[in-house]
Structure 1
């Protein structure tokens, strides 16, 4: 049988439930002590696995897969940056130097034609740029392709 707990004030009740919440959802993890083994007349310390010492998530491959499947334009952009040997952060960053801008405009054109993305969506993908910047990039690349 469970007995009801009697509280004398609302502050006491909040403190009790905060302590219960802390105990349930943020348990204190105490790393285990290393094991000392005597071998051949000397003491050897056996290392403790790292996942027992600190919180490690083993699902990084799932996060990568979800990013690639769930957001194909983003994955394509990252792959193209790797192929062209440019930094992704330069493509989405504020850099306005000519070589960076030319590569960025080419990538914007590729994404627009390959995935049919809208200009506002392209702007969000490229660091929150305005849709008119994306429109200018597509027109500029198309003009260059018409010249060649």
Structure 2
């Protein structure tokens, strides 16, 4: 069982790597969106609140409804593709996809967040530290005593004695 347990911290490493990769992908997609998006002035005409989790883990996210006019003169009312702390009536620069103007975000949200990368990195470091703490390097976790009949018996090593040869 200990053999299996010593590899459990590697799940932190895997989890951390997945979080980092998803966060990096989100940052790259966000930068790509910003490069191709058009920017116009808009206003928040409504805020939709969505709740996730339950009990003590209940969290509210606010999704602003943006109203703006595209560079081509089309009036758009759409829920932002990102959450925001903006309130009803707030004016904001809006970035929108010229091929699908209903995909829009407040310009202040365009820079993305590296917090997912940091969380992933922390999980990787914790996993590696715990793995190295539990890993016995494939050596035996005790000493062997030779019986008079020539067979060997596992036994705890005396203090200070080198384990594994």
Q: TM-score, normalised by structure 1?
A: 0.24
Which gives a bigger RCO, structure 1 or 2 (Cα 8 Å, sep 6+)? 2
Q: TM-score, normalised by structure 2?
A: 0.23
Structure (1 or 2) with the greater strand fraction: 2
Structure (1 or 2) with the greater helix fraction: 1
